[in-house]
Amino acid sequence: MPDDAELLREYVHCGSEEAFRLLVELHAGLVHGAALRVVRNDSVAEEVTQAVFIILARKAPSLPRKTVLAGWLYRTTRFVAMEAVRRERRRLEHEERMTQMKDSDEGASVWEQIAPELDEALSRLGKTDRDAVVLRFLEQRSFVEVATALSITEAAAKMRVGRALAKLRAALARCGTVVSAAALLAALSAHGASAVPVGLTTSVMGSALAPCGAAGSSVSGLVKGALIVMAWNKAKIGATAIILVLLLSGGGVAVWKWQSQTRGATSGSGTRVVMQTFEPMAGEWEGTVTLTSDGRVMTDNQPCSMTVTTQQGGRACQIALRMRLIPGREPTVQHYSHTLNEQGDGLFTTSDPASGRGDGECQVTESFYNPALGEWRAAMRFPLSGERGLMEGSWERRGNTLIVRSHDQFYSARGTNHAYADLQLTRRISANAP
C-alpha cells in the first residue's frame, strides 16, 4: 500500500478520491478516538472527525513535504475538538467528569484512569515525542512504520518511543494520574486505538470532498472556527500575538515590586517564596486590556473577560481568557492551566494548544495572601528556552478587582524588545466564587 506522502501527492495532483478514501480509512480511528476523548460524546466526535478531514482536503496542497500526517491529524483534531467543546459550552461539565473519574474507586482500570488526562498530557510533549506516541499506540503502527514516518532507523524508533512514554508518564503525573510504566504501556497497547463507527468513513468522504458549504451547519461551524484558530496560531500577529500567548501562560517575575509581606520558607540557599493557592482569582471577571510594544500602544482599553476555575483545593486552575485585539474584530479565546508543585515554589504551566507556546516550569517569585483584607498577589518568572528572552508577569487581587500584568523581554542581535500587557478586571456580580 502507498504511504501517506504518496497518497497525499496523488490526491493533490490528480484529484484522486480513492487516494483520499485510503487516507481516511488509515487515520479515521486515530481522529475519532482523539476527538471522543475530548468531547465525550459519540455524535459530536463524528462531527469533529468529519471536520478534520474537511480541513485536510482543503489544506493538503499546502502541507510541507516532510509532514508526519498522523501527527498533523492528531494536532488538528485537538484544535477542532476544543472548538466543539467551547461552542457547546461543555468545558466545565467535561472537567467535572474528569474529576469524578479521578475520584473513582481503586478497582477502576488503568485506562479509565488515564483516558481523561491522556490528551492533556500528550499536548505537553514535544512534537517528535508526541508523533512517536501517536503513531505507535493511537494508530497501532509497527516500529518499522514509525521509523519510516520519522525518517529514523528502527532501533532509533524503539528508543524514541521508550523515551516518549517516560515523558508521557511524567506528564500524566503532573495532571494528577500516577501509573507505572508497565501499566501505561499495557493500557495504551490495548486501548490506544479506536474503532471507527460503522458508516463514518462514508460520511467523512461525502462531507470532505463536497463543495464548500455543503456540510451540515454544525460541522461547517467547527471547520470555520478551527481554521481561524489554526491561522491565528501560524501567523502569531507579531508582538501582539506573543503577548497574548504568554500573558497567562505562567510567565513572570513582577515588574512591579510590592513593599509588603512575602510568605516564604528559608532554605540553605536563601529565602524560598511559597505560593499556596489560586483560589482568590476563581470566578468570572470582565474589564479591559491594554497592550504596548516598545512604547507603542497596540491595543488600548479593549473589552475582555476571564473565567477561572480551581481544582485540587486551589493548587491548580483553569483559565479561559476572551479578548478583542482590534475594535470591531471577533474576540480571541485562549485556555491555560497552572498547577503548583508540592513545595509551592514553582508551577507547571500549559498554554492553549492553539498558541503552541508557554508550556514549562515557572518559578514563584512573590506571594502574599491576606483573606481578612481580601488581598492576594503572586508573581512568577519564566525564562524562554534557548535564552531567547524572559517572561515576567503578576496577578493582584484587591476586593472585587483583579489586575493581571506582564512584561515580556525578547533578546536579539539588535537588542532587547519589551512588550507590556495590563488587564483591569472586575468580578461579575452574578459570579459565586470564594
Predicted confidence (pLDDT) per residue in 390-408, tens digit: 888 899 998 889 999 988 8
Report pLDDT for 259: 31
The count of structural domains within the chain is 2
The H or E element containing residue 10 is helix 4-14
Task: Quote the strand ranges of 253-330, DSSP E.
Answer: 264-267, 270-273, 283-293, 296-311, 316-323
Domain membership of residue 419 (yes or no) is yes
CATH of the domain at 355: 2.40.128.20
For position 404, what pLDDT does the model report?
92
282 plus 415 within the same structural domain: yes
Are residue 154 and residue 246 in the same domain, yes or no? Answer: no
Contact 330, 237 (CB under 8 A): no
Query: Which H or E run contains 404?
Result: strand 401-412
Lowest-confidence region among 113-122, 244-253, 364-373, 379-388: 244-253
C-alpha–C-alpha distance, residues 152 and 143, integer Å:
10
Choosing from 234, 267, 298, the residue where a domain stops is 234
Mean pLDDT of 10-17: 92
Average predicted confidence (pLDDT) for the chain: 77
DSSP secondary structure, 48-87, as one string: HHHHHHHHHHHHGGGS-TT--HHHHHHHHHHHHHHHHHHH
Assess if residue 134 is contained within a domain: yes
Instruction: List pLDDT tens digits, range 342-373.
Output: 888 888 877 665 444 456 788 899 988 888 77
To which H or E segment does residue 118 belong? helix 110-123
For residue 165, being part of any structural domain is answered with yes
For residue 260, tell me if it sits in a domain.
Answer: yes
Residues 279 and 133 in one domain: no
Angle at which helices 17-39 and 110-123 pack, to 10 degrees?
Answer: 110
Same domain, 97 and 230: yes
Please indicate, yes or no, if residue 433 is contained in any of the structural domains: no
Q: Which residues of 89-116 are buried (b: 16+ CB within 10 A; e: fewer)?
A: ebbeeeeeebeebbeeeeeeebbebbbb
Tell me how far CA of residue 15 lies from CA of 21, 149, 209, 298, in angstroms: 11, 23, 10, 44
Cβ atoms of 252 and 381 closer than 8 Å: yes
Q: 302 with 420, same domain?
A: yes
Give the model's confidence band at 387: pLDDT under 50 very low, under 70 low, under 90 confident, else very high.
Answer: low
Q: Are 201 and 32 contacting, i.e. CB atoms less than 8 angstroms apart?
A: no
Domain residues for the domain of 340 are: 236-427
276 domain-assigned: yes
What is the pLDDT, as a whole number, of residue 385? 55
What predicted TM-score, i.e. pTM, was given to this entire model?
0.42
At which of 210, 234, 258 does a domain end?
234
Q: Which of 12, 48, 32 is nearest to 215 (CA)?
A: 48
pLDDT digits (tens, 9 = 90+) for 141-168: 899 999 999 999 988 899 899 899 999 9
Judge if 164 and 78 occupy the same domain.
yes
Nearest Cα to Cα of residue 138 among 40, 19, 47, 28: 28
pLDDT value at 70 more than 90: yes
Distance CA 329, CA 163 (A): 44
If you average pLDDT over residues 307-329, what whole number do you get? 83
Residue 432 lies in a domain: no
Torsion of CA 114, 119, 123, 124, to 10 degrees: -10
Please tell me the distance from the alpha carbon of residue 93 to that of residue 205, in angstroms, as a whole number. 32
Alpha-carbon distance of 219 to 44, in angstroms, equals 9
The predicted structure's pLDDT at residue 185: 86
226 shares a domain with 104: yes
β-sheet bridge partners, residue 104: none
Please check whether residues 222 and 248 belong to one and the same domain.
no
85 and 177 share one domain = yes
* pLDDT computed for residue 106 by the predictor: 37
CA-based nearest residue to 350, from 90, 172, 111: 172
| Same domain (yes/no): 152, 47 | yes
Distances (CA, A) of 114 to 117, 126, 338, 419, 420: 5, 19, 19, 39, 39
Looking at the fold, whether 221 and 351 belong to one and the same domain comes out as: no
Tens-digit pLDDT profile for residues 92-104: 554 555 555 454 4
Count of positions (residues) in the chain: 434
Pick the last residue of a domain from 234, 255, 290. Answer: 234
Residue 25 lies in a domain: yes
195 and 245 co-located in one domain: no
